[in-house]
């Protein structure tokens, strides 16, 4: 019995109450080797929206759904058990199964997860879902993650999990340090300190990526730099050493307001060149 069988279509369309799990299992088996037929997708879609709100019903026909439908259902999908969440993501990302264009790309999936609101899902649930993506190293390459970060950093407000993803990206791909610095620069222009979680992550990222982050710290407004130096001795001491090793001519290009902040927070250190102290 195939997916185009009139008997099967009739059975699915008029499935008795209590047989939903069986129907889902049948469709799952039929779609393991081939994409779902248009007819079966339409019937399942109708069942889901009109009779059975269990999101598991959609899993066998994921590749036949519209992109917007998949994104709207993501908050429900990621609340399922971890093995089921992994199955859902595998079906979405396995583009070799179908030529349809409704599937999410790897970057679109990870971005969509970041956009789920805390009213729809608990933060831990969203974190667990993003971890499923990061565990797929062959899919979530440095190039893919660069695309994700570039798009997320331009959102307003910046998604709450953004800095966690930045840190995970750096942990997986340390060679992306220079790219991460570009992201941190963009966060400064977007005044990241106005979002508490983003600012906290910014500081943590500067700690993890030092000494790459020292030039970035010097681009902060004085008050934000002072805040960082007061709460993390690693960055304060490292930044002082960085400046002390810098040629005086180069140090002269740094605003006095920044050097004063560092001097005030670092006793017995003179950083302002004579020509820059007036």
Instruction: Please tell me the predicted confidence (pLDDT) of residue 144.
Output: 96
Lowest mean pLDDT among 44-53, 212-221, 239-248: 44-53
Q: Where are the alpha helices (DSSP H) in 31-66?
A: 38-50
Percent residues over pLDDT 90 in the chain: 58
Q: What is the mean pLDDT of residues 239-266?
A: 86
Q: Is the pTM of this model over 0.75?
A: yes
194 compared with 50, residue with greater pLDDT: 194
User: What average pLDDT does the segment 190-207 reach?
Assistant: 97
Contact of 92 with 103, CB cutoff 8 Å: yes
For residue 185, the model assigns a pLDDT of 98
Residue 62 vs residue 217, higher pLDDT: 217
Rounded to a whole number of angstroms, the distance between the first and last alpha carbons of the chain is 87
In this prediction, residue 267 carries a pLDDT of 62
Q: For the segment 11-55, what is each residue's pLDDT rounded down to a tens digit?
A: 677 776 777 677 778 778 877 777 888 888 888 888 888 877 789
The dihedrals phi and psi of 81, each to the nearest 5 degrees, come to: -65, 150
The larger pLDDT score, comparing residue 32 to residue 157, is at 157
Q: Cβ contacts of residue 177 below 8 Å, gap of 6+?
A: 170, 209, 212
Could you give the dihedral angle defined by the CA atoms of residues 125, 154, 254 and 203, in that order, rounded to the nearest 10 degrees?
A: 0
Q: If you average pLDDT over residues 238-259, what whole number do you get?
A: 89
């Amino acid at each position: 019995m195939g997916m185009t069988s009139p008997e099967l279509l009739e059975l699915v369309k008029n499935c008795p109450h209590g047989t939903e799990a069986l129907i889902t299992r049948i469709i799952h088996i039929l779609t393991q080797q081939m994409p779902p037929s248009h007819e079966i997708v339409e019937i399942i879609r109708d069942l889901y929206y009109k009779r059975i709100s269990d999101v598991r019903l959609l899993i066998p026909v994921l590749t036949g759904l519209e992109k917007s439908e998949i994104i709207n259902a993501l908050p429900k999908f990621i609340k399922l058990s971890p093995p089921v969440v992994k199955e859902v993501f595998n079906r979405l990302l396995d583009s070799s199964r179908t030529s349809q264009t409704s599937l999410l790309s790897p970057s679109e999936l990870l971005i969509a997860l970041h956009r789920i609101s805390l009213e729809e899902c608990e933060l831990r649930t969203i974190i667990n879902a993003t971890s499923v993506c990061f565990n797929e190293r062959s899919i979530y390459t440095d190039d893919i993650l660069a695309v994700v970060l570039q798009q997320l950093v331009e959102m307003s407000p910046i998604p709450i999990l953004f800095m966690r993803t930045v840190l995970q990206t750096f942990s997986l791909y340390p060679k992306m340090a220079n790219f991460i610095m570009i992201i941190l620069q963009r966060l400064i222009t977007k005044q990241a300190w106005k979002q508490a979680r983003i600012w906290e992550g910014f500081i943590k990222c500067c700690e993890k990526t030092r000494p790459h982050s020292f030039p970035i710290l010097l681009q902060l407004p004085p008050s934000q730099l002072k805040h960082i130096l007061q709460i993390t001795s690693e960055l304060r001491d490292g930044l002082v050493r960085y400046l002390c090793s810098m040629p005086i001519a180069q140090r002269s290009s740094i605003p006095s307001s920044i050097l004063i902040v560092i001097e005030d927070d670092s006793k017995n250190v003179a950083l302002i060149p004579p020509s820059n102290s007036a």
